[in-house]
Amino acid sequence: MCAVIVDCALYRNGDRVLESHSLPRIAAAAREDPDAFVWMGLHEPSPSDLVGVARLFGLHPLAVEDAQSTSQRPKLDCYEGTLFLSLRTVWWEAATESIETGEIRVIAGPDYVVTVRHGTGSGLEGVRRRLEESHRLGQQGPAAVLHAVVDAVVDGYLDIVDDVEDAVDDVEARVFGPERYDDSPRMYRLKREVHEFYRAVAPLVDPVTRLADDPSVPLVDAGLRPFFSDVRDHLLRARELVETYERQLGDIVQAYLAQVSVRQNEDMRRISAYVAIFGVLTLVAGIYGMNFEHMPELRWRYGYPFALLLMGGVSVVMYRLFKRSGWL
């Protein structure tokens, strides 16, 4: 159990007052003091670990079941005065232009917060440190942790939006640039990654909206709802930008396919023009290669130079005609 516990402490009036390997002792201290609560952070716990935590804090079975899942979409559930919030974290791998995802589950009650992380890029150490330094925990308790986690995740979305924008702009510049590039694998890969990003951002709008507007949501008082409203504004901006980049990539793919089609048509016209020119040469050479005895100019002294000049003249005339029509 201790191996999956990233941090566990008792907070009283916003101050970190107790750290102990005795989890029942910490939980009991939080229950006895209305100004105290426990914040336990877990990383990829096993089902047996979560069962132990559930017994310690009296977690709802459905919240425990959802916390175990590693494929949970963002959502907010309320269970008998407690909250369960599921979020997806994202981070950008610049070397491969790919988006990696992780997951965070927050289970909050009046005297405890349990954060469960899945994935390697979704640490909450910075969130805990900022909360301890700002002393917001003393004023809002578990709800402050909930807000800080959501705010950090959404800020991460906005940071990655800038990286995605740079990648999309680079692809667009290459597609519409003067040189030819075969960027189709990169475009399709980037489109898939942006769609994965959208799947993390868009479903979170409804849970955050409930936290900002719904007075029936437990633990979140009226004084904290404007902060969730501010997070919602940032989240909506991130969603709109991701939608824009997804549409932009779709337009880029269509433009690229149109360019490929136009270039193929140009190549086919060019090939057809040269085939027509050499077809005439082959026709003349084929006729005079039949070796019939009675043919025009067959025994004429200048017949051979005349045939060469005829083929050369026809070739020049046809080349100029095709050039003028844009086929060459």
Encode the chain (328 residues) as per-residue pLDDT tens digits: 556 888 888 888 878 887 766 788 888 888 888 888 999 999 888 888 888 888 888 888 888 888 888 778 899 999 888 899 999 999 888 888 888 888 999 999 999 999 999 877 667 888 888 888 876 666 678 998 999 999 999 999 999 998 899 988 888 888 887 777 777 788 888 888 999 999 999 999 999 999 999 999 999 988 889 999 999 999 999 999 999 999 998 888 888 877 777 777 777 877 777 777 787 777 777 776 666 666 666 666 777 777 778 778 877 887 787 777 777 6
pTM, rounded to two decimals = 0.78
Q: Give the 3-state secondary structure of residue 220.
A: coil
Cα–Cα distance between 74 and 205 in angstroms, integer?
Answer: 9
Parallel/antiparallel/unpaired status of strands 5-12 and 98-109: unpaired
Domains of the chain: 5-259 (3.30.460.20), 260-325 (1.20.58.340)
Helix (DSSP H) and strand (DSSP E) numbers for the chain: 10, 7
Q: Are the CB atoms for 113 and 40 separated by under 8 Å?
A: yes
Radius of gyration of the chain (CA): 35
